[in-house]
Amino acid sequence: MSDFSGPTYTEAGKAFERDMDYIPDRLRAGEQPADALEGEYGADADAPVWPVEPGRYRLVAAKACPWANRSIIVRSLLGLEDVISLGLPGPTHDERSWTFDLDPGGVDPVLGIERLQEAFLNRDPDYAKGITVPAIVEVETKQVVTNDFPWITHDFFFEWRDHHRPDAPDLWPDECREEMEAVMKRVFTEVNNGVYRCGFAGSQEAYESAYERLFAALDWLEERLTDRRYLMGESITEADVRLFTTLARFDPVYHGHFKCNRNKLSEMPALWGYARDLFQTPGFGESIDFEQIKAHYYVVHTDINPTGIVPLGPDTAGWLTPHGRG
């Protein structure tokens, strides 16, 4: 049993609503107008802009967190490892913030801080919003630049093009951009966020509504992926990255911990094959640490799992079995 005392996530009698109020700053390569991102929410046209500059920034992204996991995958797919360093907080945190307990002495070796909170307070000593990952931190000043997670991966692709590896995938193909944004919007609202609406529901009614919405979307995805390798066809896009991080956590966490238990991911043939296909693709599987994922959810969410007991299962060996796709 853990004695970890963490924040609460449910509110009695209410449905879960995600707070999307992040630091809106952008990393941009030039003065061109901001690209529209319709998949999740619009940009702040007046947000401060920071220059793209190799070595200037550090991505802080915990492997346990699905939103941060996206940025780790995209950084790897695009070959940005040598221009944006990576800091990895441990899987658990309290009300104050993520900590660097995986590093020697519990200190990030580049930023020299123990808590991500320090970078936020360096930017604004009165900062009172959530301390979240992923976050981009300026190395020299040790201050956070942005934690606006959809824009971080978007800008890794569009604004850091000059630093991509030569064979980097086209994660935002022009020919299917409009459809991809619609797909990503449904994935975000109904799946990425849908599992949280189930897990953090404050009433039976809110939970049942969230449950029905989630599995309606998963059934739609199961059908969509029956006759195509990836969400947008034969090539990996940002849409696949965004769906994958939820699927990787489904059976180890969401099925039991969040009560998303109509069926397991491994019982949906197309989605399970698709998830294994991505997992076995360089850049994806190595970003997944199932033990950290389970520790994060089962230890941090003390209002849902007050004992702090972390389950031993499920067996994750199936992720490496042949997927039969492509």
Residue of 65, 254, 297, 298 marked catalytic: 65
Choosing from 22, 57, 196, 298, the catalytic residue is 196
**What does the angle CA 215 – CA 259 – CA 302 come to, to the nearest 5 degrees?**
140
pTM for the full model? 0.94
pLDDT in the model for residue 243: 98
Tokens of 81: 């490892």
Q: Give residue 112's pLDDT.
A: 98
Please give the pLDDT value at position 139.
Answer: 98
Contact residues for 153 (Cβ-Cβ < 8 A; gap 6+):
70, 71, 74, 238, 241
Q: Which residues pair with 135 in a beta bridge?
A: 60
- Res 3: pLDDT: 37
- 57 catalytically annotated: no
Annotated active-site residue 65? The verdict is yes
**H-state helical runs in the chain:** 66-78, 117-123, 149-158, 177-186, 194-199, 204-224, 238-249, 269-279, 290-300
Sequence-distant (6+) residues with CB within 8 A of 61 are 68, 69, 71, 72, 86, 87, 88, 133, 134, 135
Give the pLDDT of the chain (326 residues) as one tens digit per residue. Answer: 233 345 577 878 888 888 888 999 999 997 654 554 444 445 566 788 999 999 999 999 999 999 999 999 999 999 999 999 999 999 998 777 899 999 999 999 999 999 999 999 999 999 999 899 999 999 999 999 999 999 999 999 999 999 999 999 999 999 999 999 999 999 999 999 999 999 999 999 999 999 999 999 999 999 999 999 999 999 999 999 999 999 999 999 999 999 999 999 999 999 999 999 999 999 999 999 999 999 999 999 999 999 999 999 999 999 999 999 98
101: number of Cβ within 10 Å: 15
